[in-house]
Amino acid sequence: MSLPARVATLLLAFLAVAAVAAFVVIHYFLGGPPTVDYSSGVAADTGATVHVVMQEDPQNTVSTHPDWVSYFIQNPKTHAWVHTTLFKVPAGSKIDMTIYGYDGCTPLRNPVFGEVTGTIGGVEDVDGQPVKSLNSWSGCNVGHTFSIPGIGLNAPMATPSNPNANLCGSSPCTSGPHKTMTFSFMSPRATGEYFWQCRVPCGGGFLDGFGGPMQTIGFMTGNMEVVS
């Protein structure tokens, strides 16, 4: 091959490789579910209150894994339900959580996580009644948990009263049997990402129930980003 031909081929090949690499980085590596911002307009470290609303569903009909259980987070401004588990709160503030539990029950692997810890008052309200712990082995009581290990928060999610009734079938759920959990905690003063997870092995079809949605961000685990 002549020199100009070699140069041209080489340049094309290099550009192709660079384009592929850029695509992979941008699409696969830097992509991901969106972050719902609860911190805009709220001053940090003032003890201000932020109201975060989430729901957990028996499936989600909006992703490529429709039969994976999933959390949804409500956008504070538009009140639309976003299929994500990433949210942002201001540091040093009071976080009021409301979580709608639409999913049925699964026994916990370690029942110690049926106990409510890390909330203000040490309890959570299930449909208005304060609850200190839920026993996932004595009855169909626990569907999921909302746990932030970095701040010692653990809140089990109760299951709808009659789990044999038809659970909500399309996500995000707006009707169907559910329980409403409310609790509060203080967001830490140190900024950063605090991961949260569900502790119930609800990843059906995966060994120990901890695969699939349990280990995929956007479904049963995510990040609480604390910003100043």
34 binds another protein (CB under 8 A): no
Cβ neighbours of residue 19 closer than 8 Å, sequence gap 6 or more: none
Choose the binding region for another protein from 73-81, 88-96, 107-115, 181-189 (rule: CB under 8 A).
107-115
Q: With contacts defined by CB under 8 A, how many residues of the chain interact with another protein?
A: 59
Supply φ then ψ for residue 91, to 5 degrees. -70, 155
- Interface residue with another protein among 94, 111, 151, 186 (CB under 8 A) is 111
191 binds another protein (CB under 8 A): yes
Nearer to another protein, 24 or 43 (CB): 24
Instruction: Give the C-alpha separation, 115 to 124, whole Å.
Output: 10
Which residue in 194, 173, 177, 176 sits closest to 185, CA to CA? 194
Alpha helices, DSSP H only, in the chain?
3-23
What is the nearest approach in angstroms of another protein to the Cβ of residue 1?
A: 8
Structure tokens given for 203: 């990843």
Give residue 67's region: left, alpha or beta (phi > 0; psi -120 to 50): alpha
- Contact set with another protein (CB under 8 A): 3, 6-7, 10, 21, 24-25, 28-30, 32, 65-68, 105-112, 114-115, 132-133, 135, 137-140, 149-150, 152, 191-193, 195, 197, 200-212, 214-217, 221, 223
